[in-house]
Amino acid sequence: AAGVIQSPRHLIKEKRETATLKCYPIPRHDTVYWYQQGPGQDPQFLISFYEKMQSDKGSIPDRFSAQQFSDYHSELNMSSLELGDSALYFCASSLDLPRQSGELFFGEGSRLTVL
């Protein structure tokens, strides 16, 4: 079965540089989420999209932005990178039922290292 695809899997950047992460959700899933997980920490919700519109916003820094495209893939853009942005970034997708949460399927994650 198709899973959530994230790219790149690993990314190394210098401080103040820009990075873009991509996510391809499971076909026919209507909601995409981005989570950030620092070392030894729980996943922190950044932002989500439902049918290409932003649906919820969490602790996403102003330096970050995201969007979902017409083919449902999503990109997380991170600018002016800081050392503290080093983390695993997970994308997840779900097919939500009316007034019910659907199961989240996580991608393998993109590991960002900022030097």
Binding pattern for the stretch 47-86 against other proteins, x by CB under 8 A and - elsewhere: -x-x----xx-x----------------------------
**Residue (of 19, 25, 107) closest to 64 by Cα position:** 19
List binders of other proteins among 35-54 (CB under 8 A).
41-45, 48, 50
Tell me the site size for other proteins, rule CB under 8 A: 27
How close are the terminal C-alpha atoms of the chain, in Å? Answer: 37
**Cβ contact 29:23 at 8 Å:** no
Q: Does 102 bind other proteins (CB under 8 A)?
A: yes
Which of 23, 29, 31, 66 is the binder for other proteins (CB under 8 A)?
A: 31
As a whole number of angstroms, the distance between CA 31 and CA 53 comes to 9
Which of 22, 61, 79, 96 is the binder for other proteins (CB under 8 A)?
A: 96
Give the type of residue at 69. Answer: F
The angle subtended at Cα 67 by Cα 107 and Cα 113, nearest 5°, is 55
| Closest CB 105 distance from other proteins, rounded Å | 8
As a whole number of angstroms, the distance between CA 40 and CA 69 comes to 32
**Which residues of the chain form contacts with other proteins (CB under 8 A)?**
31, 33, 41-45, 48, 50, 55-56, 58, 88, 90, 94, 96, 99-104, 106-109, 111
